Amino acid sequence: MASGDAQGNDVGNDISDEIRSWLGDNWDPDLSVRDWWQRMADAGWQFPTWPEGLGGRGLSATDGRIVAAEVVEAGALGPPFSLGQVMGAPVVLQQGSDEQRNRLVPPLAAGLESWCQFFSEPEAGSDLAGLRTTAERDGDEWVINGQKVWTSAARVASRGMLVARSNWDVPKHRGLSYFIIDVDQPGIEIRPLKQMNGQAHFNEVFFTDARVSDADLIGGEGQGWAAAVATLAFERSGLSNRVAGQVVGLPGEKAGVLDRRAGDVVAEPADTGLGSRAFRSWSEIAELADERGRGDDAALRQELMAMRALGKVAAWSAQRARAAARAGESPGSAANVAKLMGSHIGRAAQHLGPRSLGADGMLAGTDAPADGQVTDMVLSVPSSSIAGGSDEIQRNIIGERGLGLPKDVSVDREIPFRDVPRSGGGTG
């Protein structure tokens, strides 16, 4: 074994011993979630890769996963989980000022806030740089007008990551600015979008003379595209780096979890606002097929093994990405591959779940087999191929950044956005 590997293992063992000892002295299931998360943040174990004093210890991503695994092993409640923790804080830490870091990050570390993402628009989904929500300067504030759509968890968020157009006289990528905006204000209206599974994880959001302070502009005026790209990269890496078995809670006052007993939250599945997670693995579906007397169906067994193989390939791809990160190399488009693989696996489960039930696969509700969880999964899976960037976007990124294929032909990248024709005719 190389000396560097041995040294790395020693560091990992030291981290394991330290967090294990700390958890033994500090984990108390009778604490409120609020108090437990604050204790974790104060000790730097909440998000160990974040800087010291901001909920972390400045550890490597590898050591961060070691800490997360030890928290799982101890049966303790994991860190808060919202887009603010996964994406917002990393962007503020990377591109914000010292004042912004010290003001915006600690409430996220302590789980006091949940954030949402105001990116996609009705006419700007795959072409995010073509968004038309406006930001106009008014003294020390910016006035926001426009519409966003497919916004997850907006109703429980206290702040949102907003990309808006602050300059119409430059090409589209250079006229965007990135803000952290307060959601609770008269100029923001949130309307839930009811899904076919009966839930409403997504929302459309209308901005009418909403206001955001210039102090909450991240990276400077016109630098929004770089911040948006970084946000999406943190989203994919953050979701793919979660540790199996990790129990987390949706943070913020509106979610209603902060004053609950921490041990009670650990004992139940976490609601991350991303839809059903039931019956998504091949083994769960195989067990269901056996229970329903369909375990000897040769065609079904073959498809289950294909789904298992797909899951194995996805796991190996994730391992390669983590190995590249440990070696200080860029994982490239590995996170996009993982996101796309997740969609494929979801669709396989969507097909095989009802097949395992036979005719009962058409039933819904708690009176259906498996308490209706299979039907809930079937109706929830399509959203996973949209949330976090559609499958089509993932394929574009993999093709362009991973395989080096040429970008799609674009005629509007170098002209002022004001002169770009709109889909309904005319220009901006």
Query: Do 146 and 166 form a contact (C-beta atoms < 8 A)?
Result: no
**What is the pLDDT at residue 365?**
82
Q: Which of 130-134, 243-247, 294-298, 339-343 has the lowest mean pLDDT?
A: 243-247
Q: What is the mean pLDDT of residues 403-410?
A: 83
3 pLDDT above the threshold of 60: no
pLDDT digits (tens, 9 = 90+) for 74-92: 999 999 988 999 999 999 9
**Phi and psi torsions of 101, nearest 5°:** -60, -50
Which entry of 121, 204, 235, 284 is annotated as an active-site residue? 235
Query: Residue 393's closest CA among 202, 178, 236?
Result: 236
348 pLDDT above the threshold of 60: yes
pLDDT digits (tens, 9 = 90+) for 112-145: 999 999 999 998 877 888 999 999 999 999 999 9
Of these ranges, 326-330, 332-336, 398-402, the one predicted with the greatest mean pLDDT is: 398-402
pTM, two decimal places:
0.82
Q: How far apart are the first and last CA of the chain?
A: 62
Provide the residue ranges of all domains of the chain, joining segments of one domain with +.
3-109+236-255, 115-223, 276-386
Q: In angstroms, what is the C-alpha Rg of the chain?
A: 23
**What is the pLDDT at residue 176?**
97
Q: Mark whether 235 is an active-site residue.
A: yes
Query: Do 274 and 152 form a contact (C-beta atoms < 8 A)?
Result: yes
Average of per-residue pLDDT values in the chain: 86
Two tokens at 313?
A: 């390939």
CA distance 426 to 394: 31
269 pLDDT above the threshold of 80: no
pLDDT digits (tens, 9 = 90+) for 23-81: 999 999 999 999 999 999 999 999 999 999 999 999 988 898 899 889 989 999 999 98
Query: Do 115 and 82 form a contact (C-beta atoms < 8 A)?
Result: yes
Distances (CA, A) of 318 to 63, 156, 244, 247, 315: 17, 31, 13, 20, 5
User: Could you tell me which residue, 312 or 58, shows the higher pLDDT?
Assistant: 58
Q: What is the mean pLDDT of residues 8-27?
A: 83
CATH number of 115-223: 2.40.110.10
pLDDT digits (tens, 9 = 90+) for 201-249: 889 999 999 999 999 999 999 999 999 999 988 876 665 555 555 567 7
CA 125 to chain centre: 17
Beta pairing partners, 52: 56
Distances (CA, A) of 191 to 162, 271, 272, 312, 379: 17, 20, 19, 39, 21
CATH number of 3-109+236-255: 1.10.540.10
